[in-house]
């Protein structure tokens, strides 16, 4: 059974806590009174995010945050963390996440994402910590037969190694709960996280050319890239471009805090979709971002991107009823906050 009690007495390990979703979640946890230990190897994150977290939460809350630079696959380092802190639950974000790169480097993706999860759960059980929230993805639904997607919708074969790692880690963690009923696993399937902290101090900072739509659009808006490339306008959607369920990263972060509260005293394996329930097309995003930044953003239409689905959006009823959570922000606020971050930090966390 979960040992998670009141936030003020609970220490949570956040792997990948310096990344985009991780850092926003750490802010929520600190603001709720949790003690937080981040383990991150900074392979795809910037240490400067830690100062930003401190600025947002203030001195008192910042004292409850510890950062350990380590690879989650490093069992020795993880063991030292579990020996030092009385960790009651883990939120596991750390992992490689670039779809295209995963096709080029499948071994690295399987080895890193699956290997670090195996190391983590092994060290967890050695320390009798059996509560974990895993960052899964709507990618496990593949090309859906029916919309909206509920947690009961079938998992479909992934179209790339990144997707397979999410798919397989879900099953690995589910197996744990079958073998040992004390495990308490929550699989959060994210739809498309965008936006930034409303302060403009934290946001998404991809290395190199962004793969995802929003950071690309934001970089066009700030003048780092010439124009948005729209991948296909011949889909069976109202304007022909792909439709996704974009969710504000702060809503997503709150979803993790709600899941943590919900886990207290439970065990087993539960899945929740975290989305808004609304679909938005690529062209609608470009329009909304143009309004947010006050200029028309240029775009060109290109062929479809391999592996992309036509449309997906979530049914979030389960999260609303069980977790008492629902997304609060709309597309206008997501674009506003993303622009606020990008315009104040044109090069992300780099000066």
User: Which bin fits 280, alpha (ψ -120 to 50), beta or left (φ > 0)?
Assistant: beta
Measured CA to CA, the distance from residue 318 to residue 150 in angstroms comes to 8
Q: Which is nearer to ligand UD1, 180 or 234 (CB)?
A: 234
Judged by CB under 6 A, does residue 282 bind ligand UD1? yes
**Cβ-proximal residues to 128 (8 Å cutoff; 6+ apart), any chain:** none
Note whether 242 binds ligand UD1 by CB under 6 A: yes
Applying CB under 6 A, which of residues 244, 248, 256, 336 lies at the interface with ligand UD1?
A: 244
**Known active-site residue 349:** no
Class of residue 187 by CB neighbours under 10 A (exposed 0-12, middle 13-18, buried 19+)? buried
Binding status of residue 323 toward ligand UD1 by CB under 6 A: no
Q: Is 139 a binder of ligand UD1 (CB under 6 A)? A: yes
Can you tell me the distance from the alpha carbon of 339 to that of 351, in angstroms, rounded to the nearest whole number? Answer: 17
Token pair for 291: 């309004």
Could you tell me which residues come within 8 angstroms of residue 89 by beta carbon, excluding any fewer than 6 positions away?
2, 4, 10, 12, 13, 129, 131, 132, 133, 184, 260, 263
Single residue of 23, 44, 136, 137 touching ligand UD1 by CB under 6 A: 137
Which of 129/282 has CB closer to ligand UD1?
282
Tell me if 163 contacts ligand UD1 by CB under 6 A.
yes
- Which residue in 34, 109, 141, 162 is the catalytic one? 162
Examine residue 16 and tell whether it contacts ligand UD1 (CB under 6 A): no
Residue 206 is a binding residue for ligand UD1 (CB under 6 A): no
| Rounded Cα distance, 35 and 28, in Å | 11
Is 176 a binding residue for ligand UD1 by CB under 6 A? The answer is no
Q: How far is CA 315 from CA 193, 257, 272, 285, 321, in A?
A: 16, 20, 10, 21, 12
Give min distance, CB of 217 to ligand UD1, in A: 8
Map the footprint of ligand UD1 across residues 299-318, applying CB under 6 A: 305, 307-308
Residue 216 binds ligand UD1 (CB under 6 A):
yes
Could you give the residue numbers annotated as active site?
Answer: 162
Residues lying near ligand UD1 in the complex (CB under 6 A) are found at 99, 137, 139, 163, 192, 211-213, 216, 229-231, 242, 244, 282, 305, 307-308
């Amino acid at each position: 059974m979960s040992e998670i009690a009141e936030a003020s007495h609970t220490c949570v390990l956040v792997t990948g806590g310096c990344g985009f979703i991780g850092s926003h979640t750490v802010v929520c946890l600190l603001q709720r009174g949790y003690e937080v230990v981040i383990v991150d190897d900074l392979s795809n994150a910037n240490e400067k995010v830690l100062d930003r977290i401190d600025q947002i939460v203030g001195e008192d809350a910042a004292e409850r945050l510890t950062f350990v630079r380590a690879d989650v696959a490093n069992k020795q380092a993880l063991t030292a963390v579990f020996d030092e802190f009385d960790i009651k639950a883990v939120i596991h974000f750390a992992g490689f996440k670039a779809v295209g790169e995963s096709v080029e480097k499948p071994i690295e993706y399987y080895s890193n994402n699956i290997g670090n999860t195996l190391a983590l759960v092994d060290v967890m059980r050695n320390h009798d910590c059996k509560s974990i929230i895993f960052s899964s993805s709507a990618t496990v639904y593949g090309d859906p037969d029916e919309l909206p997607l509920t947690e009961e919708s079938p998992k479909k074969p992934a179209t790339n190694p990144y997707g397979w790692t999410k798919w397989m880690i879900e099953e690995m963690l589910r197996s744990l709960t079958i073998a040992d009923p004390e495990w308490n696993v929550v699989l959060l399937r994210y739809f498309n996280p965008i936006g930034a902290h409303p302060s403009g101090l934290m946001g998404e900072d991809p290395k190199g050319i962004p793969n995802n739509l929003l950071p690309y659009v934001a970089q066009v808006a700030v003048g780092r890239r010439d124009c948005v490339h729209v991948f296909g306008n011949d889909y069976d959607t109202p304007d022909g471009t792909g439709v996704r369920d974009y969710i504000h990263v702060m809503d997503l972060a709150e979803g993790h805090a709600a899941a943590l509260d919900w886990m207290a005293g439970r065990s087993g394996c539960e899945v929740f979709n975290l989305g808004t329930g609304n679909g938005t097309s690529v062209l609608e995003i470009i329009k909304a971002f143009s309004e947010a930044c006050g200029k028309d953003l240029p775009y060109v239409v290109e062929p479809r991107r391999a592996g992309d689905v036509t449309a997906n959006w979530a049914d979030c009823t389960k999260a609303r009823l069980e977790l008492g959570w629902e997304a609060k922000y709309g597309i206008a606020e997501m674009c506003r906050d993303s622009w606020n971050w990008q315009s104040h930090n044109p090069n992300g966390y780099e000066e």
